[in-house]
Amino acid sequence: MPKLIPAAERLIRARKLIQNAREYPVPTTGLGKSDLSYIANVKDLLRQAKDMIKFISMTPSATAEMKAEVKKIYAEIEQADKEILSNNTI
């Protein structure tokens, strides 16, 4: 049975996944940021960040501050997606 991860740790891990998506190396050969494997890997990291926090606000033990942090992280994920993938240069 998998070990349960506390909500505070999930928030930290989600932010780390977002940072990993931002730092993911852009391919220097081929299509660069338009490379499908690059896009898929970045999207996967952002999806993992969403999955890490998606149930926190539904738990009865979640405080108002924690719910606000979840909303901030969702906004960070959307912002990172736009910043990383919208600036495609071909």
For the chain, what are the domain ranges? 7-85
Contacts of 39 (CB under 8 A, 6+ apart): 33, 85
Mean pLDDT score across all residues of the chain: 87
> Is the Cβ–Cβ distance between 25 and 42 less than 8 Å?
no
pLDDT score of 25 more than 60: yes
Is residue 89 predicted with pLDDT exceeding 60? no
Cα separation of 47 and 83, whole Å? 16
Give SS3 for 89: coil
